[in-house]
A and B are shown apart, each in its own frame.
Chain A
Amino acid sequence: MKKTQIVLLLVIAIMIGALLVTLEDASVYATFEIADRQKPETVTVVAKVDLASPINFDPKTTLLTFNAIDKDGDSRSVIYNQPKPLDFERSEEITLTGHSTDLNFVATEILMKCPSKYTDDNELNTTGIYSVNI
């Protein structure tokens, strides 16, 4: 066997390894229920901020506490030890990365999807038609 062929085999082996590592490192899109079952494993939950319950932010300890409702309609208290994201209340959907504990869901990262991102504002407003006579 030639040296280059050995190298190519090695390359393929490492690539398969890299693919497996990716699958291993990948987190899963889950619901709060799955997060509870898999605690303390880190998961990604797509949820909505519950605007009906209080959203508390203590700037001194930068602790944000709020309730979030996932796609199944499950609600959890979420704590996030980072500054409250700008426009938090306006967000349409949030992506929480974190894990469940016995008391609540501890988020390490929150990504927000803004409602206006490319949609609302980009709709042409045709309600105000001037009635001019030419």
Chain B
Amino acid sequence: MDYIGEHSLISFLGRASVALSFAGALATVFFYSLYFFSSSDKKSNNHRGIKSAGRLSFAFHSIGVLGTIAILFTALFNHWFEFDYVWRHSSLEMPMKYIASCFWEGQEGSFLLWTTWHVILGWVLIGTAKKWEFGTLMLLAMVQVFLTSMLLGIYIGDLKIGSSPFILIRELPENIGLPWTELRDYLIRLPSLRNGQGLNPLLQNYWMVIHPPTLFLGFASVTIPFLFALTGILEKKYYEWVIPALPWTFFGISILGTGVLMGGAWAYEALSFGGFWAWDPVENSSLVPWLTLVAAGHLMMIVKHKKSAPASALFLTILSFLLVLYSTFLTRSGILGETSVHAFVDLGLNGQLITFLGFFSIGSIFIYLFHWKNFPKSPSEEAFSSREFWMFIGSMTLLISAAQITFSTSIPVLNKFIGPEGILPILVNPMAPPADAAKHFNSLQIPLALVITSLLAIGPFLRWKETPNALFNRILPSFIISIIISALCIWGLKLYNPLYAALLFVSIFGVFSNADYWIRIVRGRWTTSGMALAHLGFSLVLIGALISNGKKEAISTNATYIHEDFPSNENILLPLNDTVSMYPYYVAWRNERTEGHNRVFDVDFYETEGASTWNDFKRPELKPAFTLNPFIQINARMGNVREPSTKHFWNRDVYTYISYADLRPLNEKNGAWSEPMEAVLESGEEVFLFNEYLLYCDTLNVQNASINQNSGEIEHLDLELDLILKSMNGGETNLTLPYHLDGNKAQTSEIELEEKGLKFRFDGVATAEGKFNITAWEKNNGDPPFVLLQAFIFPYINLLWLGSILMGLGTLLAVWKRVYRAINENKK
């Protein structure tokens, strides 16, 4: 059947592209793996043909992936809402700049994004990997087989393989067989297909444009060192693999680190978590591969410089990739549903996700263990004063840190195994995440950070093999400066928690020793500055995180109203237009308005001028400082969301959000009307009203009347009732209530006396008694409208952002150093 207006050809082409990319990936695996099956003497003869066939297959795969993207974008761009993906993720009202966000809002689109980065990095590998091409491309194509299979959307029997972004709504399992799918013109007839659901308003945000591509490029670049590590094992090149893998590792550290911190910045800027890191499972699961990748990178350097045992470097490189897959499984399988606010929607692909994770975990661990006995051992033991020994300790500390975060994030997974409904029901009740997440994580992460930061402060000054004692003198100046500066900081900030104070000291030491190293030893040469800069950035991130969190100050403490059973909390009550003291500011809520999806609140901040005059019980002079606009997003899909507004100063941020507000329009909140009071009066009669007034019924005027000559019934009638409202103090107000009758239809209107806060309605004549029905309301002027506000000061949070940028740049410089050397070696 031909459906009118449906783009079924496009849907077919889309699915064909996915199939092409899947088949292309399979063919790539096939051709490149031939290399491993050919005997060694034939290898030299065969490999040219194998390489061409493999590259050609990868080209077909790439065309398939790019075609899929192009078609999906075309469908989104043209608002073809017969496509389920388009209908679900975009709408006509959405600004075009968010088309990209719609693209990767869903699981299918974000898999596609990941796949695309692999394709791009795959071509870079083909161009640069030389003899490594066979192994790495074979393994990369295996990953691509799994990733593209997620987009297939085919059924084998009852087994669903992948979820196609090109499925039409009428083809969805729940719609098959419904009568409307038989209509040729269903696209015209179904009004709900005229417009899509739209991108979740919470994600209509520029972060959603830049964060996912960065994070997925980070994920994709964790894959590449893994490819080299496994190829290294398969080809028994246990040392050589680290040379091409190192620049990729640093690239991954830079991009993935930036992606993770961008997520933190997004949370801080746009979500009311009250900070940049909430130890949310989704955040954690992207941080963990970064930690292990950093460890892997350092272990690779030991292998490169010392030709020491590669076992641990291989293990951590493989582990980093497996943790990316595990993170994918956690966030996409719906298993985090109860513990995380922002996991993906379950697509019913769990079986496939587990297969993906299982294939690479079991496969690579098997290969690793199978070759274990062949791994070279270290020729000699590391000296206690060598750089490699302490680098090894640092890497192991990172591994422990990653392990603890993984354990806690995996609680829902543990429940599947040992929970009451699990495979091995050990627990009587399922486990829930720790009640105080920050406390739980900090208990181990702060001591670990202490170890890591001390090592990165001292490490650069250590030498490979053995460090002469004289070198220790070199760190003495920065050590002494750090002691003085951190003592001043601890005293100035009153940071007396010993653990925090210790961490602050080692972080400051990390900054100074690496700055010292950069100035005196590297002497600012850019190609070799990477290490010092990255370490310095990391230390700054820690200082920023430590001070801004440790000295985070709630300034909105409610000191006026305190419940007898609870301590005062961090919510200040702001009645409309009332200026309230919120040390060191005065605040006033001035107005609220609706802007698009958002209800925006205007909160003015004032500074006091000159010395406070509290002693005289006088308000000090107030000077307007700034205005913040926290808002509440009215979000039908996710529930309403409180979004913060932050004033940035160089040394602190003032962060606020509305913690409670009545979301009715302002004029409605401005006092609600009382229950109506009804009176039946005749001319000359009066009634006592709202304990305050006497309502006197004066006269009824007939303005206009016409009677149907035939039936004798009233056709049209205009009445006006004159009333006099008498106040207790003797004041009188005249008031006229209209009443219209048109045939059988009566029309009444409410007359409001704004200054008195009263309103009246004339409901007509009670015909039998010749009396008039009147309804009156009084405005309840009990409480003026109010909002509850939370405000925090985050001191020195800019150090965190500055550190993030330096760390990203430093690791990129480390990439550049190796690329630069490789280029120069080629020239020779």
Contacts and interface: CB of A to CB of B under 8 A. Distances in A.
A107 B154 CA distance: 46
B188 A26 contact: no
Nearest to B396: A11
A63 interface: yes
Contacts of A108: 435
Contacts of A121: 197, 636-637
Interface string B351-367: 00000000000000000
Contacts of B396: 7-8, 11
Interface string A109-133: 1011010111001101110111110
A63 B660 CA distance: 12
B562 interface: yes
Interface in A28-58: 28-30, 34, 42-44, 46, 57
A2 B382 CA distance: 9
B393 interface: yes
Given A11-B396, A114-B639, A128-B192, A83 B169 contact: no
A11 B190 contact: no
A51 to B, nearest CB: 16
A18 B87 CA distance: 46
A62 B563 CA distance: 8
A132 B566 CA distance: 64
Interface string B425-461: 0010111111100001001100000000000000000
B573 interface: yes
Nearest to A91: B639
Interface residues of B, number: 68
A97 B111 CA distance: 35
Residue of B433, B435, B571 with most chain A CB atoms under a 10 A cut-off = B435
A22 B413 CA distance: 13
Contact of B639 (A30, A109, A117): A117
A70 B641 CA distance: 26
| Size category, A interface | 35 or more
Residue of A29, A95, A114 with most chain B CB atoms under a 10 A cut-off = A29
Interface in B390-422: 392-393, 396, 399-400, 403-404, 407-408, 411
Interface in B615-665: 632, 636-642, 659-660, 663
A14 B400 contact: yes
Contact of A134 (B185, B636, B640, B788): B185
A24 to B, nearest CB: 9
Contacts of A118: 345, 637
Contact of B435 (A44, A63, A83, A130): A44
A18 B444 contact: yes
B788 A83 contact: yes
B185 A117 contact: no
Contacts of B560: 60
A47 B178 CA distance: 36
Shortest 4 CB-CB contacts between residues of A and residues of B: A83-B660, A44-B432, A114-B639, A60-B561
14 contacts: A4-B392, A15-B403, A25-B434, A26-B434, A27-B432, A27-B435, A34-B429, A59-B788, A86-B640, A116-B638, A117-B638, A118-B637, A122-B637, A126-B180
